[in-house]
Structure 1
Amino acid sequence: MREVIAYNWPQYAAGIGTAVVCAALSGRLPRPSRAAARAGAAAALGLLASATVATWLVYDRSELYDYDWLDALLPQPPAAHLVVGAGLDEAGAPLAARWPESRQTTVDLYDPALMTEGSVRRARRRVPPSPHALPGRPGALPVRAALADAVFLVFSAHELRRARDRERLFRECARALRPGGRLVLVEHLRDGANTAVFGPGARHFLPRAEWLRLAAHVGLRPAAERRIAGLVTAFAFAKGPA
């Protein structure tokens, strides 16, 4: 939770600032406007509280980072796997520890021209990439075709804000998969649950329909799906016929 706040501190500062300004103005406004200002202050503080609690529950208290939920998405441990990050690799180390016999390749897509969110730049400064990570682009992953039994996009694909870049990335992930292999995508979704706790911040996420579209666009089919802590969705998309 502390890391998420550090990466997104301007949003927290804006929320607190909005609450302070609304509270300060409420005593100087006419009665109808005073109630609206107080309601605005309460809403800003309530949204900060709900986002902070949700972040703590998901990232500190849930099963997210033990990766045991992968058993429901992958039929067997991969002999080789590819981890694609976008400035902050949250999956490489735990997956390497989970499958020490699996050959791991990591690719870093970080490009400040494509990833315009300040949170990504701050995360990059705080957590440098692995020295083993290969630099890549959405349309050119530096790996051979049919390299891996599993490809992982863990909180990385949504950082590509342009649909065509996401399409290129999914096409490259499909190319890197062996027949029968699976793309594992882990993301918050722009849905009712995430909007309820993150408010306007949920606009940064993408709807479920977009991820299904991208998979279908490159010939990957939905094979399994798991909801984690009520706010994160893990998809497995398979290459090849059912």
Structure 2
Amino acid sequence: MNGQAPGGHRRRPSGARHVIAYNWPLYLAGGAVTVGAALVARRSRGIVRAVAWTAGAAASWWTAASLVASHVVYDRSPLHGWEWLSPALVRAGRPPRPGRHLVISSGLDEASAVIGALHPGCEQTVADLYDALPVVESSLRRARRRVAPRPESVACSADALPAPDASVDTVIAPFALHELRAADDREAAFGEVARILRPGGALVLVEHCRDAANIAAYGPGAEHFMPRARWLRTARGAGLRLAHERRMGGLVTVFVLVGPER
């Protein structure tokens, strides 16, 4: 389906309203905590009242802040357009086109069709990890129902990406590899990326990192993200070095990691 609506028109990429649809139980819980805490605070005194107001304020902040953050990142930033890919590759010392490239998806692929349209003539493979994920979040299942995988996607696991050794110029992983919760699985995925990249090839990793800005915006939900240092440590373990880094919408980090020129 490639994320298309009836009539052949491509659906708009996921924005803040889709984030609500994918995560509605969390937003419902946040609203319930806010209202419940306010009711308890009005009927209580002392430490109980203080705790209730604090819990309600935190729930209210993170519910509203996460919606604003999602709107800024997914509706207002250039993230979904992918015009930023070529400048990022150039700043990393790579050609402006991704060449033969592999896009890694963990269930919600809204990048491959856009990248393919921007770079016609560049051979593309889409590796879909969804069916092999040890744990699939309910929000990801809801997203998968909205945006079905492209028919040409190749179902695979993190330790067996669908490409021969040293055959790919660029690997692009937008919001996919954090779904691999176990360190061993992430290390296996990075090892596979290193295996399939041609000498000097690049991994473009797009992720929220667990940092102060994302914690302020998403609260406990930021536990879902990996710290920047952990991504870079895993990359170094696979022989990939950081060649370029930029921030998107203030909350998303783009890493361009380059393999050795062997």
Choose the corresponding residue for 1:70, options 63, 82, 85: 85
Residue 132 of structure 1 and its aligned partner are, at CA, apart by: 0.6
Number of the residue aligned with 2:13: none
Separation of aligned partners in 2, 1:90 and 1:166: 22
SS in 2 for 1:54: helix
Number of the residue aligned with 1:50: 65
Residue 39 of structure 1 and its aligned partner are, at CA, apart by: 3.1
Number of the residue aligned with 1:198: 218
- Please tell me the residue identity of whatever aligns with 2:165: A
Report the aligned-residue RMSD.
1.5
Query: Pairwise mapping of residues 109-188 of structure 1 onto structure 2 (< 5 A)?
Result: 109-111=129-131, 114-188=134-208
1:179-201 residue CA offsets vs partner (Å, 9 max, x unmatched)? 11100000000001111111111
Alignment of 1:228 onto 2:248: yes
Contact 2:131–2:155 (Cα < 8 Å) also in 1: no
Query: With structure 1 as the length reference, what TM-score do the two structures score?
Result: 0.95
1:22-50 residue CA offsets vs partner (Å, 9 max, x unmatched)? 12222222244224323322221111111
Separation of aligned partners in 2, 1:56 and 1:113: 28
More moved, 161-170 vs 66-75? 66-75
How many positions carry a matched residue from both structures? Answer: 242
SS in 2 for 1:119: helix
Contact 2:210–2:226 (Cα < 8 Å) also in 1: yes
Contact 1:219–1:239 (Cα < 8 Å) also in 2: yes
Alignment of 1:12 onto 2:27: yes
Residue 81 of structure 1 and its aligned partner are, at CA, apart by: 0.6
Separation of aligned partners in 2, 1:38 and 1:166: 40
Separation of aligned partners in 2, 1:170 and 1:112: 16
Change in 2 beyond 3 A, CA 1:162/1:51:
same
Instruction: Give the % identical residues.
Output: 50
SS in 1 for 2:80: helix
Choose the corresponding residue for 2:48, options 25, 33, 42: 33
Choose the corresponding residue for 1:83, options 103, 121, 133: 103
Contact 2:244–2:255 (Cα < 8 Å) also in 1: yes
Contact 1:78–1:148 (Cα < 8 Å) also in 2: no
Number of the residue aligned with 2:12: none
Residue 241 of structure 1 and its aligned partner are, at CA, apart by: 4.1
- Please tell me the residue identity of whatever aligns with 2:44: L
